[in-house]
Amino acid sequence: MALTTTTEIDAQPSLYYDRLLLERALPELVHELFGQQRNIPAKSSAQIKFRRYSSLSKKTTPVPEGVTPTADQLAKTDLTATASQYIGIVEITDVIDLTVPDPVMTETVMLQGEQLGQTRDELIKNVLAATASVTDAAGGSNGNTPTEVTEGNIKGVRDTLMGNNAKFINRVVTATTGIGTTPVRAGYWGIAHSDSLSNLESVTGFLHTSKYPAQSTILEAEWGATGNVRWVTSSEAHYLDTTVDEYKMLIFGKNAYGNTSIANGNISNIRKPFGSGDDPANQRATSAWKMWHVTRILNDNFMHALNTTL
C-alpha cells in the first residue's frame, strides 16, 4: 500500500507565512490608501517616472470662416522617484525553540507584519506631511495657534482643492430606507490622528459612519464625514510634539501622490531554519521581511495639510 506523506504534498509554509505577514501589514497602511499604485516592472530599474500633462487653454475667440486655428501644444511635467529597499530581521535561538511552548515563528511573522506595515505607513506619511500646501487652523476656541479644527477650516480646504480642480475620490452614497441614515456627499479623503477624534466629532455637521446609508462602502479605519471630506483615523497619523502638540490633518483629491514598488520582489518573508548558513551547531533560525518602496507627491495642488491642535 502506497503511503502519501508530506514528501508528496507539502504544507506550503512559505505561502502561509507570506499571507500571514501581509494580513498583519495591511491594516497599518492608512496613508497608502488614496494614492496611485504604480509598480516598476521586474529587472528594469529602481526608478519610476510619473508624468502629468497640463490642461489645454480655453478657446473663447471665434474662428473666422475658412481659417484653421493654431494647434495646441501639449505640455508635460515629469516627476521621478527611486525605490529603496527596507529590511527587518528577527533571529531565534535553539533554546527558545526548545523551551518556549508558543509557536514562536508564527508569532514572529505576525509581529513582523505589523512592523512592515508601520514602516511603510511611516515612510508614506513623512513624504505627504512635507506637502507645500499647508494651512493653520483658525477660528477655534482653544486659544492656540493653530487652533482646533473647525467646520470653516475644512470647508476652506475643500474650496481650495476644488479651486485647483482636484477631482473627488468618493462618489455620493445615497440615502436608503434605513432608520436614521443620512446620505454622504461626494468628496475627498482625510486622515486624522486618533487624538483628534473628539474635535472632529465636534465639527458642525459631522456624520459618524454608523449613520451612513451603505455600510458596505465604509473603510476599515473610517470614522465619519464632514461635508465633502470622509475621514479615516490612525494613531500613527502625523503628530508634532511641540509646546501645543500639533497635528497635521491631510486631505487628498485624486492623483495627489503615488506609491511605487518593484514587481515580483516587493514584499516577501524569508525564513531560514536552524543550521542554515553560518550555523554549524543548529543554534539560530531567522525570519526576515523585505520590501521595495518609494512615495512621490504628484501634485501639491491636489492635497492639503491642515495644522491643528487639541
Which pLDDT value is given to residue 12?
46
Instruction: Summarize the chain as % helix, strand, coil (round to 5).
Output: 25, 30, 45
Closest CA to 236 of 29, 21, 86: 29
Which pLDDT value is given to residue 11?
46
**Rounded to whole angstroms, how far apart are CA atoms 309 and 41?**
43
Record the cell numbers describing residue 265, joined without a space.
520582489
- Per run of 10 residues, the mean pLDDT along the chain (length 310 residues) is 46 64 81 93 90 92 95 95 95 88 86 93 97 98 97 98 96 65 90 97 96 89 97 95 92 96 83 92 94 96 97
E strand or H helix that includes residue 24: helix 13-25
The 3-class secondary structure across 29-81, one letter per residue, is CHHHCCCEEEEECCCCCCEEEEEEECCCCCCCCCCCCCCCCCCCCCCEEEEEE
**Rounded to whole angstroms, how far apart are CA atoms 4 and 150?**
67
- CB neighbours of residue 201 within 10 Å: 13
Whether the Cβ atoms of residue 218 and residue 209 lie closer than 8 Å to each other: yes
What is the pTM (predicted TM-score) of this model? 0.87
